[in-house]
């Protein structure tokens, strides 16, 4: 896990050399604590998924706040962390981003054959 967060921070430093990455470090800490003991169907610790999401966002050139939201994107649905908890730690802007991603799971997709690519395109 340390290598994943280190890679994320390196990518962000490359794209945003003067950015304060405290929000990303804090989001990682909270997500890791919240997802402690959870694993994917593959057996991989759940936090690896959120780190990969944040890494994709960073690789696309998105800012540290967006990457922090990527780290936290499943905490409201899958853990005991609440809206108020996130608001107290990060403020309303980040909570709004996290809730926006959470609401994507409620989307209904158009078309008879909905592939993963179609879902991604419709999400965007």
CA–CA gap between residue 79 and residue 63 (Å, rounded): 25
Positions marked catalytic: 77-78
R_g of the chain computed on alpha carbons: 15
Quick check: 97 and 103 in contact, CB under 8 A? no
Residues making up the chain, counted from first to last: 124
CA–CA gap between residue 42 and residue 29 (Å, rounded): 23
């Amino acid at each position: 896990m340390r290598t994943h967060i280190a890679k994320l921070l390196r990518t962000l430093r490359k794209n945003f050399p003067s950015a304060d990455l405290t929000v990303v470090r804090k989001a990682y800490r909270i997500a890791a604590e919240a997802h402690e003991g959870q694993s994917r169907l593959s057996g991989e610790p759940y936090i690896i998924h959120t780190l990969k999401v944040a890494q994709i966002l960073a690789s696309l050139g998105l800012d540290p706040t967006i990457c922090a939201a990527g780290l936290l994107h499943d905490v409201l649905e899958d853990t005991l962390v609440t809206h108020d908890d996130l608001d107290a730690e990060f403020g309303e802007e980040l909570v709004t981003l996290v809730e926006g991603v959470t609401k994507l799971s409620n989307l209904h997709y158009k078309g008879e054959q909905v592939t993963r690519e179609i879902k991604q395109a419709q999400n965007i």
